[in-house]
Amino acid sequence: MKRRHPLLLAAIVAGSVLSSSVVAQEASSLNDYPTVTRAEYIFGCIQVNGNTRLALERCSCSIDVIASILPHDRYVDAETTMSLRMRGGESVSYMQGPEFVAKVKALKLAQVEGELRCF
């Protein structure tokens, strides 16, 4: 039976711990949307798409795609911008600036990607 070098074993263990840590970090960054945010999106999406089981599956898929593309803070910024723009008036006219347009465009592109992949 061959004798294993203790440093080699330590390196293997350290490598597996680091790789599992990286995987956990990636998973948490892809799942940074709170449940309530996902539920709100899915609820609205289901209503628009016929209140069916199939709509539930497709809408769940869609928010997962959006979450994989757009970090939660950017999603909230874009959703807030879109909501405030709907009010209209001078008080929100500044939201027509390029930085706000870019935020909304990023969200809309993520939504389109979700539709393409899931519907």
Could you list the pLDDT tens digit for every one of the 119 residues in the chain? 555 555 444 444 445 444 444 444 444 555 799 999 999 999 999 999 999 999 999 999 999 999 999 999 999 999 999 988 888 888 778 878 899 999 999 999 999 999 999 99
Residues with Cβ within 8 Å of residue 82, at least 6 apart in sequence: 104, 107
The structure tokens 């769940």 sit at 60
CA 38, chain centre distance (Å): 9
pLDDT for the residue 110: 98
pLDDT at 28: 53
Residue 33: what pLDDT? 97
